């Protein structure tokens, strides 16, 4: 009997129109857990590096996490993996809601899609009955409207649906997959779904999951709920309001946006408006938010209510779901003062199925090129004069790939090179061809430098967390570390106690590089664990002092699955998965020269020190000077098959192979 997982995947070939229920190997669960880990193994094994993202031979993997569908609070993430049209590397994006638990209840851990349908279709999974159904009548429909129409057509109001909008159908490189209460948006996963002619996947399940030691598991779940209540009554002192609690940042419940609006950059990630947040602005935005947000909502089996239902009269569904920083991305990129504009355009963009972080940056990039004369009225006929109107104009052009929108639909990196005429110099906020958060800092922060440079999740919010983003006021430090039970090492507490904004214990020359490497790995590792278990980052890897952490997660996994698991074993699984993804991308061409944070994130930079940082971090991770895992590292993690392939392809030199292999060669 399999515990916590179903032990079956659905294999769907859209070119052949075939569907197969395939039993999975439990040995892979022991090595990679589930979710992102087993997704990566599937992509390594079955998608050669020469396969293009829009090729029928590319795979699109929709996965649950190992704890999805159990009583573990917040274990509801859907992990979608493929190869990105934007970065050309492995893309993996996570979304909450109800879809992945429902897939488990239908009897499957993953849906693996290959091929390309000659006509637009959707997949209907109803327990053991699975169909590929015509979706011609849904062509051009929005992602949220599509979900409603499918539920009506199936007469299944409880069916959970993920879908793409017009952007995905037209293969906009940053198209998202939408699921009503959450989005999988980074890396252009929706574009790959559109390239396969797959409009949606609807699922309804009524089966049970088996838990190995249910009484023990239930007790652990109760402890987490108790801690969540404690944290609700004891917010962390000395940090911005959105970081004081747990859950995904509570943007729908919080009105105070001084930190974001004055610390992050506006327009095309160029300038800060330090005097923007006034008492009058705060009152005006509070009124707008209270009028716009109808109610707060949660994902499956979670009490946090991080999302908000926003009324929107122009949408077919008349409302949509918003959460986190997407409330501000369009407002700040458009240099707008009106929060109502943000609610309005974000709803349209979500219906079209677009990444709420990349899209506004692409629009701001286009506006800047126009204002500097690189794009002209000939490129954008009828371009409005007001920035808010300009953003609506660009949104429509991008999703339809009309005129300049056909170029901008490829993202800032590719668009800059297609436009030419000096536009390349305006590509200043991408890393690995992907738009980053619009953060501006005065002095280089080496921890963030390493996360930005070496992270492969393409978003800083997916690799940071677990610790304050700036030094705490002195009066709060000892109180903070006193009950900081989540840390894996006591040295991290000393870092918090000493850390100062300037002086002897300030960045960039403190803490020592080896401790910085450990801090970066800790934060990143927790995200990789979440992406295997399916636990929301808002309850584990992203917030400060979360209910799930490295000390209790092994107990959850052990009691749910029946596998023996301790902290060291879990850490090794996360390291194996992270290393495999690095190897996948190295096989697709990722090298040290690609590992550059946005150039002007920091006013003051230290090139020699930054090079040393990268050298030391690579060494700490067991990677060579190019950032490729060495054969020794791969062998230690049970990834010898990966090392052999990299040596055979000439990506790892013979000198980096094991001695026995060198002699054999």
Average pLDDT over residues 557-566: 97
Q: What percent of the chain has pLDDT over 90?
A: 83
In a domain, 233, yes or no: yes
Average pLDDT over residues 548-555: 98
- What is the pLDDT, as a whole number, of residue 663? 35
Q: Max CA-CA distance within the chain?
A: 74
* Span of 255-269, 382-396, 523-537 with lowest mean pLDDT: 255-269
On the CB side of 426, CA atoms within 13 Å amount to 29
Query: In this structure, what token pair is assigned to residue 139?
Result: 């062509």
- What is the pLDDT, as a whole number, of residue 199? 98
Q: What is the pLDDT of residues 343-354, one digit of tens each?
A: 999 999 999 999
- What is the pLDDT, as a whole number, of residue 111? 98
pTM, whole model, 2 decimals? 0.96
Average pLDDT over residues 288-295: 92
Q: What percent of the chain has pLDDT over 70?
A: 98
- What is the pLDDT, as a whole number, of residue 665? 36
Contact 199, 433 (CB under 8 A): no
**In this structure, how many other beta carbons lie within 10 angstroms of the beta carbon of residue 658?**
17
430, β-bridge pairs: 435
Range of the domain at 249: 217-435
In a domain, 346, yes or no: yes
**In this structure, how many other beta carbons lie within 10 angstroms of the beta carbon of residue 196?**
25
In a domain, 296, yes or no: yes
Rounded to whole angstroms, the Cα distance separating 496 from 618 reads: 25
Helix (H) or strand (E) holding 70: none
pLDDT at 439 over 90: no
Rounded to whole angstroms, the Cα distance separating 441 from 134 reads: 51
What is the domain count for the chain?
1
pLDDT at 247 over 90: no
- What is the pLDDT, as a whole number, of residue 655? 61
* Span of 77-81, 144-148, 610-614, 651-655 with lowest mean pLDDT: 651-655
Average pLDDT over residues 503-520: 93
Residue 628 DSSP symbol? P
pLDDT at 660 over 60: no
Q: In which band, very low, low, confident or very high, does the pLDDT at 609 lie, cut at 50, 70 and 90?
A: very high
- What is the pLDDT, as a whole number, of residue 601? 84
Q: What is the pLDDT of residues 396-423, one digit of tens each?
A: 999 999 999 999 999 999 999 999 999 9
- What is the pLDDT, as a whole number, of residue 656? 63
Q: What is the pLDDT of residues 228-243, one digit of tens each?
A: 999 989 999 999 888 8
CATH number of the structural domain spanning residue 413: 1.10.569.10
Among 59, 169, 157, CA closest to 102: 157
In a domain, 180, yes or no: no
Backbone φ and ψ for 95, nearest 5 degrees, come out as -140, 150
Q: What is the pLDDT of residues 144-184, one digit of tens each?
A: 999 999 999 999 999 999 999 999 999 999 999 999 878 99
Helices of type H across 293-386: 326-333, 339-352, 358-371
pLDDT at 664 over 80: no
Q: In which band, very low, low, confident or very high, does the pLDDT at 188 lie, cut at 50, 70 and 90?
A: very high
Average pLDDT over residues 86-107: 96
Q: What is the pLDDT of residues 442-484, one digit of tens each?
A: 888 999 999 999 999 888 877 889 999 889 999 999 999 999 9
- Altogether, the residues listed in the chain come to a count of 665
Average pLDDT over residues 86-102: 96
pLDDT at 657 over 70: no
* Span of 93-107, 119-133, 497-511 with lowest mean pLDDT: 497-511
pLDDT at 634 over 90: yes
Average pLDDT over residues 183-198: 96
In a domain, 199, yes or no: no
Contact 158, 19 (CB under 8 A): no
In a domain, 580, yes or no: no
Q: What is the pLDDT of residues 299-324, one digit of tens each?
A: 999 999 888 889 998 888 888 888 77
Measured CA to CA in angstroms, residue 49 lies from 37, 90, 444 at distances of 18, 10, 35
Burial class, 153, CB count within 10 angstroms (exposed 0-12 / middle 13-18 / buried 19+): middle
**In this structure, how many other beta carbons lie within 10 angstroms of the beta carbon of residue 136?**
9
- What is the pLDDT, as a whole number, of residue 509? 85
Average pLDDT over residues 601-615: 92
Q: What's the whole-number average pLDDT of the chain?
A: 94
In a domain, 569, yes or no: no
- What is the pLDDT, as a whole number, of residue 259? 85
Residue 606 DSSP symbol? -
In a domain, 231, yes or no: yes
- What is the pLDDT, as a whole number, of residue 659? 41
- What is the pLDDT, as a whole number, of residue 534? 98
């Amino acid at each position: 009997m399999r515990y916590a997982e179903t032990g079956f995947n659905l294999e769907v070939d859209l070119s052949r129109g075939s569907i197969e229920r395939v039993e999975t190997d439990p040995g892979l669960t022991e090595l990679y857990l589930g979710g992102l880990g087993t997704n990566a193994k599937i992509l390594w094994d079955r998608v050669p590096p020469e396969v293009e993202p829009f090729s029928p031979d590319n795979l699109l993997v929709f996965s649950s996490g190992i704890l999805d569908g159990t009583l573990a609070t917040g274990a509801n993430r859907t992990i979608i993996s493929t190869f990105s049209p934007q970065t050309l590397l492995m893309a993996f994006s996570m979304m909450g809601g109800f879809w992945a638990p429902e897939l488990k209840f239908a009897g499957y851990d993953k849906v693996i899609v290959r091929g390309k349908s000659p006509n637009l279709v959707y997949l209907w999974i109803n327990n053991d009955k699975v169909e590929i159904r015509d979706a011609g009548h849904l062509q051009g429909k929005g992602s949220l409207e599509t979900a409603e129409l499918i539920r009506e057509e199936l007469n299944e109001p409880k069916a959970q649906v993920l879908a793409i909008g017009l952007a995905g159908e037209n293969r906009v490189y940053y198209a998202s997959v939408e699921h009503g209460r959450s989005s999988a948006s980074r890396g252009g996963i929706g574009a790959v779904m559109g390239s396969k002619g797959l409009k949606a996947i609807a699922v309804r399940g009524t089966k049970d999951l088996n838990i190995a030691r249910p009484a023990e598991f239930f007790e652990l779940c109760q402890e987490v709920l108790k801690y969540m209540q404690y944290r609700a009554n004891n917010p962390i002192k000395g940090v911005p309001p959105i970081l004081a609690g747990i859950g995904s940042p509570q943007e729908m419940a919080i009105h105070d946006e001084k930190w974001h609006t004055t610390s992050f950059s506006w327009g095309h990630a160029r300038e800060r408006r330090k005097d923007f947040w006034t008492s009058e602005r705060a009152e005006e935005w509070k009124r707008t938010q209270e009028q716009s947000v109808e109610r707060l909502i949660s994902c499956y089996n979670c009490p946090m209510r991080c999302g908000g239902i926003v009324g929107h009269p122009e949408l077919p569904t008349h409302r949509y779901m918003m959460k986190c920083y997407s409330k501000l991305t369009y407002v700040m990129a458009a240099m707008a003062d009106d929060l109502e504009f943000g609610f309005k355009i974000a709803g349209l963009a979500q219906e079209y199925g677009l990444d709420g972080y990349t899209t506004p940056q692409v629009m701001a990039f286009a506006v800047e090129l126009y204002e500097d004369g690189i794009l002209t009225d000939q490129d954008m006929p009828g371009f409005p004069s007001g920035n808010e109107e300009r953003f609506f104009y660009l949104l429509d052009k991008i999703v339809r790939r009309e005129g300049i929108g056909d170029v901008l639909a490829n993202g800032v990196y590719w668009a800059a090179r297609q436009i030419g005429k000096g536009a390349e110099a305006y590509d200043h906020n991408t890393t690995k061809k992907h738009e980053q958060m619009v953060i501006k800092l005065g002095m280089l922060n080496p921890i963030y430098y390493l996360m930005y440079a070496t992270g492969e999740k393409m978003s800083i919010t997916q690799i940071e967390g677990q610790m304050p983003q700036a030094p705490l006021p002195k009066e709060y430090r000892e109180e903070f570390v006193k009950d900081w039970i989540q840390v894996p090492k006591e040295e991290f507490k000393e870092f918090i106690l000493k850390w100062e904004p300037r002086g002897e214990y300030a960045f960039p020359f403190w803490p020592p590089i080896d401790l910085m490497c450990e801090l970066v790995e800790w934060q990143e590792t927790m995200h990789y664990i979440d992406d295997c278990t399916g636990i929301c980052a808002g309850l584990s890897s992203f917030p400060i002092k979360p209910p799930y952490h490295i000390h209790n997660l092994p107990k959850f996994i052990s009691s749910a699955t029946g596998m023996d698991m301790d902290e060291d074993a879990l850490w090794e699984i996360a390291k194996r998965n992270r290393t495999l993804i690095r190897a996948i991308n190295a096989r697709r061409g990722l090298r040290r020269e690609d590992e550059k944070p946005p150039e002007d994130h920091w006013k003051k930079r230290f090139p020699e020190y930054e090079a040393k940082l990268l050298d030391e971090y690579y060494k700490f991770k067991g990677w060579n000077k190019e950032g490729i895992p060495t054969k020794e590292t791969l062998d230690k993690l049970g990834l010898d098959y990966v090392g052999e392939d990299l040596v055979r392809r000439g990506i790892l030199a013979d000198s980096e192979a094991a001695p026995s292999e060198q002699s054999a060669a």
